[in-house]
Each structure stands twice: as C-alpha cells, then as structure tokens.
C-alpha cells in the first residue's frame, strides 16, 4: 500500500506498459483515472485494476487533444479530491529511416509523445500548484532518450525530447514540492514490440537477435518497468527529482 491516499492519472492504459502501470499502482492503493483511446480495452483494464487495493475509473481520451488531457485531470480532482501524480505513458511506435519518414508520421509522433506529454505536465502542474501539496510527474522515455536507432529516427527524437522536458520541469518546480522524473525502459514484452517483430521478414530471428543484445539474454516484462513507476509515485522517492531511471537490464552499460 505504498501509494495509499494518492490519486492521479495514467495515460495509454489499454494495453502494454500503461496497463501494467495502472494495475501496479492500484495494487499499492492508489486511485487512478485511466485514460486510453481504445474504449473497450481501456475499460477492461480499469475494471481489472478496480478489483485491486485501490480505485480506478476509465475515461476515454486521446493525449493528442488538449481538452481530453484537461478532462482527465479534472475528473481525478472531482472524483478523488486531489491530483498527486500523473504518468505520461501514452505512446506510439514510429518505424523507418529518416528520409522515409512522412510528414504525417512525424506530426503524429510529435502530437502523441511531445505535445501530449507537454499538456499532461502543464495541466498537472497547474492542478498541483492549486492543491499546494506537491506531486509526482512520471514521464515515460526510453533507452533512446540516450542512444540512437537509425530505423527509429523520429521516435528517438521524441524520447530525447521527453527527457529534456523532464529535467527542465524538475528544476523549475522543486520548491513547490513537485518532482518530475523519467522512466527509460529498454525493450519490453508488449504489443508494441510484437508489432515490430511482426514487421520483419523473420519475427523469430528478430526476437533472438534483440534478446542476444541484452546481458541477461532477455527483454523486460512490462511489470518490471511498472515497478519503477510505482517507486517514483510513492514517497519512497521523495528526493529523486529530474532523474532518468534506466530499466534496461544493463543494455546501455555495455559497449558491444
């Protein structure tokens, strides 16, 4: 019950990492407004979370629309009386070398990863300042916040930007008791990574190649990454601010 008495918003909860974050926070006693574009899958995740130790309600929304982000935050304040945290998790994969990336693909990645995260941070900070009890903002970055991938050029740019935004917020709002950190996972067992494998000529070989790059010869379970988010939402991380938390099994620690 490390998050008992805390209430907040998690975006992109219909599947993958967002769903695991929602379930993990609920098990630790948090009250969560779960936001997702997919109403059926999002509602199913929220119902599963509500069966845990906390409370969860679903609100259909798209982080590419500012009104939806504001509405989720206001729902949290209205239903639970406060906003103690927000997890800006919603994301999409953008594959392709840079010269093959269309303007439409770029714009969609910017709207989802950068603008959606900006709105989540901006409006959460406003609510936290009004509440005058501080809060925790957790943005979801990537190992590509530090490194590069030629086949994920635009996605790399987005995740680098998320980390930069995180650091600026951490510096500016520390005196108000608002912390902002960035969880940076490596590859995880999620529908997004399966989408990547399925797009290759040999999905089995693609998975084996990826797993071989990790010191432990495996990729993460989404729940292992969600555990880092729970830590950052909880008071256990009270002096952790502006930090990129790598959850990558040691991948970025090696040279080859």
Cα separation, 7 vs 25, whole angstroms: 10
Q: Is residue 1 part of a domain?
A: no
Q: Is residue 2 part of a domain?
A: no
Show pLDDT as tens, one digit a residue, over the chain (256 residues): 899 999 999 999 999 999 999 999 999 999 999 999 999 999 999 998 888 767 899 999 999 999 999 999 999 999 999 999 999 999 998 888 999 999 999 999 999 999 999 999 999 999 999 999 999 999 999 999 999 999 899 999 999 999 999 999 999 999 999 999 999 999 999 988 888 888 888 999 999 999 999 999 999 999 999 999 999 999 999 999 999 999 999 999 998 8
Per the structure, how many domains does the chain have? Answer: 1
Q: How many CA atoms lie within 13 A of 156 on its CB side?
A: 14
C-alpha distances out from residue 172 to 83, 104, 238, 242, Å? 19, 33, 16, 10
Count CB atoms within 10 A of the CB of residue 194: 13
To which H or E segment does residue 58 belong? strand 55-60
Residue 176 domain boundaries: 7-253
CATH at residue 237: 3.40.50.720
Cα separation, 65 vs 219, whole angstroms: 32
Does 155 participate in catalysis according to the annotation? yes
Given the residues 151, 155, 173, 214, select the one marked as catalytic.
Answer: 155
55 CB-near residues (< 8 Å, 6+ apart): 26, 31, 32, 80
């Amino acid at each position: 019950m490390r998050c008992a008495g805390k209430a907040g918003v998690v975006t992109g909860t219909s599947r993958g990492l967002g769903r695991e974050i929602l379930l993990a926070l609920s098990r630790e006693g948090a009250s969560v407004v779960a936001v997702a574009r997919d109403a059926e899958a999002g509602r199913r995740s929220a119902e599963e979370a509500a069966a845990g130790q906390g409370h969860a309600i679903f609100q259909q929304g798209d982080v590419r629309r500012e009104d939806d982000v504001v509405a989720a935050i206001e729902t949290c304040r209205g239903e639970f009386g406060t906003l103690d945290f927000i997890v800006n998790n919603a994301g999409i994969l953008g594959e392709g070398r840079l010269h093959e990336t269309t303007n439409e693909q770029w714009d969609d990645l910017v709207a989802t990863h950068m603008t959606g995260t900006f709105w989540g941070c901006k409006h959460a900070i406003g609510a936290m300042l009004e509440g005058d009890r501080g809060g925790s903002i957790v943005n979801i970055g990537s190992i590509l916040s530090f490194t590069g991938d030629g086949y994920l050029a635009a996605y790399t740019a987005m995740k680098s930007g998320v980390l930069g935004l995180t650091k600026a917020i951490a510096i500016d709002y520390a005196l108000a008791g608002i912390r902002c950190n960035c969880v940076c996972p490596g590859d995880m067992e999620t529908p997004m990574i399966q989408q990547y494998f399925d797009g290759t000529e040999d999905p089995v070989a693609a998975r084996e190649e990826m797993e071989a790059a990790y010191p432990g010869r495996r990729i993460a379970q989404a729940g292992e990454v969600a555990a880092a988010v729970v830590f950052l939402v909880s008071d256990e991380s009270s002096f952790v601010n502006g930090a990129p938390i790598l959850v990558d099994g040691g991948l970025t620690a090696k040279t080859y």
